[in-house]
Amino acid sequence: MLRKDMHEDNRQSWNSATDAHNSHKIDQAGFFRNGGSTLYPEEIELLGDLTGKSLVHLQCNSGQDSLSLARLNANVTGVDISDTAIAFAQKLSTDTDIPATFVRSDVYDWFEQVAQRGEQYDIAFSSYGAIVWLSDIGAWAKGVASILKPGGKVIVLDFHPIAMTFDWDWTPKFSYFRAAEGEHFANGVGDYVAMSAKSGVSTTYNEGVKDFINPHPGHEFSWNISEILTALIEAGLNLKVFKEYPYFTGVMLRDEMRELEPKHFYPPERMPSLPMLYGLVAEKTK
């Protein structure tokens, strides 16, 4: 069941958090003008050749990954619920001369609008913390299927729900089977950019906003792997690839994580090897 009331809380929460997040990132336009990319080999491998492909980046946040995808010669549309994130993405596109279209919308509303116009895409892409904001995974999967061309693919690379059952100090805290009820927080989206950077991840961290506390509530829905895969299959998509990775890329979202490869962060040695990310490719055959 869609929870539009909670989506609205999350919109306001992301509006506040996005300003805090971007305050820590130094000269993003210059980064792109100098040839920078925010993509990792994992998503590039799953995406394949993007030349000339129409791609929608669902829940694109502030557009950095969207512009990196456009740099790979895709025709990119980014969609996000946050007004602040989309305004930032549009300005970043202008400032870097990297063409992309950005749309401020609840993703479920966007699916309906695009389907009504009869538009379809070669690729729908979702990455890094997007799935947890979806209040109805089945409706999302059907929406994705409705906007894909025959032969089109949905590609997801996201945090593994197993990794999200732990608290910051690796204490087990959250149930793996909890999406339907959701998790509800009085202080919404936190400043994970500051948290990760101050743990030593970034060499270009700008102090920016200090001690951010979100004034708006937030609501998360941690769908487990079987729920995600079943939703895609029931929407008529064929699963082609499913992968699990024993590390986070680019962020240290738990304490004591080890950078065993550049920008690849593993659990502490005292922990067993765990799936930290997952990736999938599902195809629309007709």
Q: pLDDT, tens digit, for every residue of 24-79? A: 677 889 999 999 999 999 999 999 999 999 999 999 999 999 999 999 999 999 99
Instruction: Give Cα 69 to chain centroid, integer Å.
Output: 14
pLDDT on residue 14: 84
Q: CB of 121 within 8 A of CB of 150?
A: no
Q: What residues contact residue 234 under an 8 Å CB cut-off, 6+ apart?
A: 138, 141
- Give all domains of the chain, ordered by start, each with its CATH number: 4-284 (3.40.50.150)
Local structure of 108: helix, strand or coil: helix
CA distances from 166 to 135, 161, 172, 173, 243 (A): 21, 10, 4, 5, 21
Element (DSSP H or E) covering residue 234: helix 225-234
pLDDT on residue 191: 57
Q: What residues contact residue 80 under an 8 Å CB cut-off, 6+ apart?
A: 14, 59, 60, 61, 86, 89, 102, 103, 104, 105
pLDDT on residue 121: 98
Number of H helices, E strands in the chain: 9, 12
pTM for the model stands at 0.92
pLDDT on residue 200: 44
pLDDT on residue 95: 96
The candidate with the shortest Cα–Cα distance to 189, out of 65, 23, 14, is 14
Q: Where does residue 275 fall: left (phi above 0), alpha (psi -120 to 50 degrees), or beta otherwise? A: beta
Rounded Cα distance, 137 and 131, in Å: 8
The candidate with the shortest Cα–Cα distance to 192, out of 35, 1, 76, 18, is 18
Q: Rounded to the nearest 5 degrees, what angle is found at the Cα of 102, between the Cα atoms of 283 and 209?
A: 115
Q: Is the pLDDT of residue 192 over 90?
A: no
Instruction: Give Cα 279 to chain centroid, integer Å.
Output: 12
- Residue bearing tokens 């690729």: 123
CA-derived radius of gyration, the chain: 18
Q: Per mean pLDDT, which range of 83-92, 184-193, 195-204 is the poorest?
A: 195-204
Q: Rounded to the nearest 5 degrees, what angle is found at the Cα of 37, between the Cα atoms of 35 and 42?
A: 145
pLDDT on residue 197: 59
Helices (H), 131-180: 137-146
The pair of three-digit structure tokens given for residue 50, joined into one six-digit string: 């993007």
The candidate with the shortest Cα–Cα distance to 73, out of 92, 36, 98, is 98
pLDDT on residue 203: 43
Q: Per mean pLDDT, which range of 123-127, 218-222, 280-284 is the poorest?
A: 218-222
Q: CB of 196 within 8 A of CB of 202?
A: yes
Q: Per mean pLDDT, which range of 28-37, 117-126, 219-228 is the poorest?
A: 28-37
Q: Is the pLDDT of residue 185 over 70?
A: yes
Q: Is the pLDDT of residue 193 over 80?
A: no
Q: How do 121-127 and 183-185 pair as beta strands?
A: unpaired
pLDDT class for 199, splitting at 50, 70, 90?
A: very low
Q: Is the pLDDT of residue 188 over 80?
A: no
pLDDT class for 136, splitting at 50, 70, 90?
A: very high
pLDDT on residue 102: 98
**Burial (CB count <10 Å: 0-12, 13-18, 19+), residue 83:** middle
